[in-house]
Amino acid sequence: MAAATLCIVDALSFLEARRVVLEQVRGSRTVPTVEIIRLEEAAGRVLAEAAMADRDYPPAPRSMRDGFAVRAADLPGTLTIVGEVRAGQAVDCRVEPGEAVEIMTGASVPDGADAVVMIEHTQVAGTRVDVPKALEMGANVNPRGRDALAGSLILDAGCRMGYAEIALLASIGQAEVAVYRRPRVAILATGDELVEVDVVPEPHQIRNSNSWSLAAQVMRAGGEAVVLPVAADELETTKELIAEGLDCDLLLLSGGVSAGKYDLVETALASFGAEIYFDRVRIQPGQPCVFGQAKGTFFFGLPGNPASTMVCFEVFARAALELLGGQTEPLLAITQAQLKAAFRQKPGLTRFLPARLDAAGLVTAVGWSGSGDIAAVTRANAYLVSDPEKEEYAAGEWIGVMAR
């Protein structure tokens, strides 16, 4: 049997491990296949072709307020109202010295005018408008081409599309959009104790939930989940299913990566000539997390306890999936919030503990019985991310927070 090549022996810190994932996947990924989809299907997909402005934005100087288009040099003063422009109306008037044109937000500013005075800052009497205060040239006017010039780059390939990106593509007339094919992600749960969701388990059995959480996480990260049957803790079946999984773009295994006698995942992977970049990370939950490559496919061996599987996916596997899907910048959104109560830990590990961020922006760890406590994760809307070097946090102190 071929031995797995373990490149790094010691447990890595969280940031070191994350850097290894990013470097390895960035270093060897290829550009994914491109497909054309309709704009309404684009949410969550990764843009494959840069988008250019089809004309100047705005295409004509545009009023940012309801009010009067004026010449700044005339102010303060009383002006003659010579016309009106509404949004969506072609302009058919000009502003000469001493004149004003009534204008609505979004309407094109007529020639001759160089500013818009807000309606609230005027007094209208018949065909005259009095403007008591001076105004800077250009006030309340968005000049032609200020947001984008025709032909300029407005959206780079490799961005994951959300509502703002979709609005931008709609504004430049892209009813269809080129996106990268979703990466196919194989999910392989291992463990003799596991039964499927529709089976009533015996007292010594549990239902497989990791394949379900992982499939949901994969889909949320822009991948296509390929759920394989559960592998028993037996070498030959595990190898057969790993072989199937390695045909996908990424393989996620759960369970079987601890030091137990029946933790066979690394041995099974070794028979495929796997290169293992790390197999321990100083985090909790999720210490025995494996990352490597076999037959040109990256894999993660995620520890089987449900919260460990979930956290290791979010902080490591998700980045690999996003990069494989053509995304330029995988984002790990860890921000800071103030603790509602004091928090103590044994130093040494970066902890990702289920937590609640309240409406006032304060964060509290949710009580849990450990990394098997799925219900505690459902009570959390975030993870509290601790500094491995710090033993004590006082109430009100800042601590890392990652959205769930």
The span from the CA of 16 to the CA of 277, in Å, is 11
The contact pattern for ligand AMP, residues 252-291, with x = CB under 6 A and - = no contact, is --xxx-x-x-------------------------------
Toward Mg ion, which CB reaches closer, 267 or 338? 267
151 binds, among Mg ion, ligand AMP, none (CB under 5 to 8 A by kind): none
| Both structure tokens of 401 | 């927070």
Q: How far is the CB of 260 from Mg ion (least distance, A)?
A: 7
Q: How far is the CB of 280 from Mg ion (least distance, A)?
A: 17
Which of residues 205, 209, 328, 381 is near ligand AMP by CB under 6 A? 209
Q: How far is the CB of 281 from Mg ion (least distance, A)?
A: 18
The span from the CA of 327 to the CA of 332, in Å, is 13
The span from the CA of 323 to the CA of 187, in Å, is 18
Tell me which residue has its CB nearest to ligand AMP.
304
- The reply on whether position 372 binds ligand AMP by CB under 6 A is yes
Q: How far is the CB of 8 from Mg ion (least distance, A)?
A: 24
The contact pattern for ligand AMP, residues 15-54, with x = CB under 6 A and - = no contact, is ----------------------------------------
Stretch that binds ligand AMP, among 90-98, 165-173, 179-187, 302-310 (CB under 6 A): 302-310
CA distances from 258 to 111, 187, 203, 351 (A): 74, 18, 23, 18
Cβ(387)–Cβ(343) below 8 Å: no
- Which secondary-structure segment (H or E) carries 330? none
Distance of CA 331 to the CA centre of its chain: 6
Cβ(193)–Cβ(204) below 8 Å: yes
Torsion angle of alpha carbons 274, 308, 359, 365, nearest 10°?
-140
Q: How far is the CB of 265 from Mg ion (least distance, A)?
A: 9
Stretch that binds ligand AMP, among 25-33, 83-91, 176-184, 205-213 (CB under 6 A): 205-213
Which of residues 67, 292, 304, 325 is near ligand AMP by CB under 6 A? 304
- Which secondary-structure segment (H or E) carries 213? helix 210-220
Around Cβ 127, how many Cβ atoms within 10 Å?
Answer: 10
List the one residue out of 30, 28, 32, 31 whose CA is nearest residue 275.
Answer: 28
Q: How far is the CB of 237 from ligand AMP (least distance, A)?
A: 15
**Interface residues with ligand AMP (CB under 6 A)?**
189, 191, 193-194, 206, 208-210, 254-256, 258, 260, 303-306, 372
